A and B are shown apart, each in its own frame.
Chain A
Amino acid sequence: MAQEFWPLAIFLFTLFLLLGSGVWIGLALLGVAFVGMELFTTRPVGDTMMTVIWRSSSSWSLTALPLFIWMGEILYRTRLSEDMFRGLSPWMARLPGGLLHTNVVGCTVFAAVSGSSAATLTTVGKMSIPELMKRNYPEPMVIGTLAGAATLGLMIPPSLTLIVYGVTINESISKLFMAGIFPGLVLASMFMSYIAIYSRLSSRFEPTAEPVTTFAEKLKNSRFLIPVLLLITLVIGSMYLGFATATEAATFGVLGAMALAAAQGSLNWESLKESLMGATRTSAMIALILAGAAFLSLSMGFTGLPRALATWIGSLGLTRLELLMALLIFYIVLGCFLDGISSVVLTMAVVEPMIRQAGIDIIWFGIFIVVVVEMAQITPPIGFNLFVLQGMTGHEMNFIAKAAIPMFLIMVVMVFVLITFPGLATWLPENIIQRPGG
């Protein structure tokens, strides 16, 4: 056995050396793969590398990625966050916990049009942070709930993490998207329950009371929510009803976001150009990581390591729960240091055979991994939501990370909810394709 795991030691050593010393992630993966190939095969390394890099870079299913990023970039430059706050707040004011719920509901709604957690955070936060602080809500709660709820951007479709996961393991992205809906809603309601309980128990919770609004006024204010709800219907609805694949839904999203921006008068040549260039850069960044990961996965394939590891794990006779717990801890640790997309692509070559061998549903596992990656967004030292909030509030990383701890724990609970009720994730994807013909 020891001999089989030599490659693992070498892969890990090179990986830690390159990643840890600050080499750009995509290139670090290329470097590790290169070392592995040079040591363990007699095959022509460079040409082999380009075969898989070309294949993964020109993949059709990857095309959804830049489009969803572009959509988010356009929406960020609209008045959407103001409108969402105005439409939601009258409904939230009477709930236990008051306007803190606008953080969670706002993130849930925006998550349904944005594929990213940080974009959800910035869009919702730029309005809700100042408004909630003005009303004297406890600051750790404002920041914490926002940091946690924004991670729903990754679970509720569209989701960049799920696209990358689907591309990496070659599964239907539409199915993965459908799988995220119910778990996302359950997680959102868990966040809201926490807010409600906190508001009842904490003595520090004394926000300014909201003026009483009539039902008619509430309804009237809700008109601000119509554009974003239309956009959600367009994107998720077109996929659910089978009119569009994930990529096509993304084009609906881009065009719909443009229409929304135009209707608000915030669409001009300058903002369109900025959004496009932003999307180009971000998708190039992910593409470089995916290219590196494709080569790494090939390199590991040549060493036979993934299969050896899967067999070894199989021979340990772990129960399904034990395996998932081991993976949970593994990904939480990894997530402290790596961003979500990198930790997914980096590990899938090894983890996928394990999961399949253990008979775990691969679509369900996508949602499992998303929850875990969501936690990584708010764990120090590397957590993008923490960085973004640092920029937005000027607080120390420690303060923000501490404020987010309850949200982290809720997500841990969510993992067990998913394990107990796997149908949350698997029911919808199994049932979209069985719709009667139309």
Chain B
Amino acid sequence: AETWDMPMAYPATNYHTENGVTFAECVTEGTGGALEIVVHPNGSLFSGSDIKRAVQTGQAPIGERLLSAHANENPMFGFDSIPFLATSFDDSDKLAAAAHDAIVAALDEQNLVYVYSVPWPPQGFYFKKEVNAVADMSGVKFRAYNAATARIAELAGMTPVQIEAAELSQALATGVAESFISSGSTGVDSKVWESLTHFYDVQAWLPRNTIFVNKDSFNGLDEGAQAAIMDCGAKAAASGEARAKELTDQYLKTLAENGMTVAAPSDELKEGLKGFGATMTEEWIAAAGDAGKAVVDAYQAQ
């Protein structure tokens, strides 16, 4: 029997990790114990940033990563993080389907075999005041942590402040930042109601965690085991997404229960954000080239 170590970046209680454990059990069962996958959660083996490279170079045979973090390397990896392009679970699935072949090819070039991906809850805006239009955002101190969030700040006329994830709570409490964009889970985890008042469920984008296998390790398996991995992957993709939807509702409820105003964006705000989306989609296509254009076209044709 063979044992595969599977590094994952998030805590053992995170639904991505729980889902990964179910996937691992499914594979062990599907191969009759010939291939055992051992999950190492919480970056305990490799930190999140190192997982892709570790699997690429065979340091680990399989792993999970937020692929959009590697958009510097290949803009295609950032397809799921174009703001205000695909703004619901259904749209996110359509976009992922449109990008599937391109992602499989991009990973293949890096010695990786794509298995499955699961979305995070959608990204929404946290504010300290009521915001009904893009104009209301002007001048607000907004947490920018990467190029895309810095660009959102710029388009909205907000003041970008650079804050690491670990320092977010402190920055909000002391007023260094007054606004940020993230999923409902971040807000719950950092008890954001202690500092901010409004959450707008704009569903700006749904980043995805992707599971991939080292190509040499994959080719070293017999066909039965390969099929088991892919079948279990398909199952895990479905169950992971179902869980994400369920949790999204719970998180928003928790925010509301703690006194935050949780609302859908007003039509005017929605229109304004859609404008940002068009601009940033153009910019992404400019970076990702023809392959990127094909993905966006295929998505919009659906």
Contacts and interface: CB of A to CB of B under 8 A. Distances in A.
Interface string A223-243: 000000000000000000111
A196 interface: no
Classify chain A's interface size.
20 to 34
A437 B196 CA distance: 9
B174 A243 contact: yes
A51 B170 contact: no
Contacts of A241: 174
Contacts of B154: none
Nearest to B167: A245
A55 B171 contact: no
B126 to A, nearest CB: 13
Main secondary structure of the interface of A (DSSP, over half): loop
Contact of A44 (B57, B167, B171, B175): B57
Contacts of A47: 57, 59
Contacts of B60: 43
B132 interface: no
Contacts of A391: none
Contact of B59 (A48, A170, A245): A48
Given A44-B58, A174-B170, A51 B194 contact: no
A434 B194 contact: yes
Interface stretch (B37-45, B227-235, B255-263): B37-45
Contacts of A41: 5
B50 A51 contact: yes
B149 to A, nearest CB: 18
Interface in A113-166: none
Contact of B174 (A43, A60, A302, A437): A437
B78 to A, nearest CB: 22
A334 to B, nearest CB: 23
**Interface hub of B38, B43, B44 (most chain A Cβ within 10 A):** B44
A31 B196 CA distance: 50
B219 to A, nearest CB: 16
Contacts of B111: none
Contacts of B54: 48, 51
A301 B45 contact: yes
Contacts of A298: 45-46
A302 B54 CA distance: 13
Nearest to A438: B175
Contacts of A304: 38
Nearest to B46: A51
Contacts of A52: 46, 50
Interface residues of B, number: 31
Nearest to B196: A437
Contacts of A243: 174
A302 B47 CA distance: 14
B70 to A, nearest CB: 15
Contacts of A302: 5, 45
A242 B174 contact: yes
A242 B175 CA distance: 9
B53 A51 contact: yes
B36 to A, nearest CB: 12
B93 to A, nearest CB: 33
A355 to B, nearest CB: 14
A432 interface: yes
Given A43-B60, A48-B54, A48-B59, A437 B173 contact: yes
Contact of A437 (B5, B57, B167, B172): B172
B85 to A, nearest CB: 31
A44 B59 contact: yes
B164 A242 contact: no
Contacts of A301: 40, 44-45
Interface in B1-44: 5, 38, 40, 43-44
A43 B166 contact: no
B88 interface: no
A434 B191 CA distance: 10
A433 B168 CA distance: 10
Given A43-B59, A55-B50, A298-B45, A433 B169 contact: yes
Contacts of B45: 298, 301-302
Interface string B56-92: 0111100000000000000000000000000000000
A139 B169 CA distance: 50
A55 B47 contact: yes
Interface string A47-67: 110011001000010000000
A301 B194 CA distance: 37
Interface string B109-128: 00000000000000000001
B138 interface: no
Contacts of B38: 304
Interface in A18-55: 41, 43-44, 47-48, 51-52, 55
Nearest to A301: B45
Nearest to B178: A437
Given A55-B50, A433-B170, A60 B176 contact: no
Nearest to B51: A51
Nearest to A432: B170
Given A47-B59, A301-B44, A302-B45, A172 B166 contact: yes
Contacts of A434: 173, 194
Interface of B: 5, 38, 40, 43-47, 49-50, 53-54, 57-60, 128, 164, 166-167, 169-176, 178, 194-195
12 contacts: A52-B50, A172-B166, A242-B174, A242-B176, A245-B167, A301-B40, A301-B44, A302-B45, A433-B169, A435-B174, A437-B172, A437-B195
Given A41-B5, A55-B49, A304-B38, 4 more contacts: A55-B47, A242-B170, A242-B174, A434-B194
| A-B CB proximity, top 9 nearest | A242-B174, A437-B175, A48-B59, A301-B45, A433-B169, A242-B170, A438-B175, A433-B173, A433-B170
